[in-house]
Amino acid sequence: MGWMKRGCALINTARGPIVNEQDLEEGISSGRIVGLFDVFWEEPYSGPLTNYSPWRFRMSPHIASTCDKFLLEAAKDFKLFVEGVEK
């Protein structure tokens, strides 16, 4: 995660295991990045990243892009999330 720009957001809607959970936790705990995940290493997810929810690690229940209304509300939530991180 060290190569990622400080303040960036890592969004994963593909597969949980493509991201190393320990590296992600290190990046989040250091304040370097935030995470937005719809897929996890184990589901339902109850791992260490829940300690950073909802402000540094946002989780959705594996339902990304299921309907237009969800996408509009998710965009609003993401905007609020990013604004909160920038403060």
Q: Where are the beta strands (DSSP E) in the chain?
A: 8-12, 33-37, 57-59
Domains, the chain, ordered by start: 8-86 (3.40.50.720)
pTM over 0.75: no
Cα 87 to Cα 11: distance, rounded to the nearest angstrom: 20
Who contacts 62 (Cβ-Cβ below 8 Å, separation ≥6)?
A: 38, 39, 40, 43
Paired tokens of 61: 């229940």
pLDDT, tens digit (0-9, with 9 covering 90-100), for 10-35: 888 877 788 889 999 999 999 999 99
Q: Which helix (H) or strand (E) holds 49?
A: none
Question: Taking a C-beta distance cutoff of 8 angstroms, is the pair 65, 13 a contact?
Answer: yes
pLDDT, tens digit (0-9, with 9 covering 90-100), for 36-62: 888 888 878 889 999 998 889 988 876
